[in-house]
Amino acid sequence: MILDSMENYKLYSSLHKDWDKAFKVISDCLSKPIPGDKSVRVEQDGIKMVMQTYKTMAFEEKKYEGHKYNIDIQFLVKGKEIIYYADSKGIDVIVPFSEERDHMSFADSPNASPIHLVPNTFAVFFPGEAHKTQCVWGEVVDAVKIIVKLQVKYVFAVLVFLVF
């Protein structure tokens, strides 16, 4: 897991061949108007991105999620939120893994750590790292976030097999 600000994204360029491309997509997205109460999905230069507009929710209303084949970059544009982070080992799976969506849901973890996101910061979650997003920090707020997926299917496949 990584938590940092946009100004430091280049520090992590060696993590993935498309890292800089992902942040170019984020920058391009930031130069456009924010959509209303809907999500916008875009694929640009082979990078999958979604911009979500939402209200933060209580911890109890959200579920942990995880992925096997994608790195999640979650960049907050507007608002504030807490993302809870936990190692997925030892957490009960409540929605089985979907190969098509590269997604599974987990029960709550007693060993979770809160991550506080403010505008212009990003959190990165790797395969095997469960995360519960869009949680309220203080009061419910309107938030906008850009999520970019970087495929790591062939790089982490063996490691993820051991984790899950």
pLDDT of 157? 43
Q: Where are the beta strands (DSSP E) in 25-125?
A: 40-44, 47-55, 64-66, 70-78, 81-87, 93-98, 103-106, 113-117, 121-125
**Domain total for the chain?**
1
If DSSP codes are grouped into helix, strand and coil, which group holds residue 71?
A: strand
pLDDT of 153? 64
- In one-letter notation, the amino acid at residue 83 is I
Give me the CATH number covering residue 70. Answer: 2.60.120.370
* Mean pLDDT for back-to-back runs of 10 residues, the chain (164 residues): 98 96 94 81 87 96 95 97 94 93 93 96 96 98 96 57 49
Q: How far apart are the first and last CA of the chain?
A: 17
- Model-level pTM greater than 0.85? yes
Task: Give me the domain span that covers residue 153.
Answer: 2-163
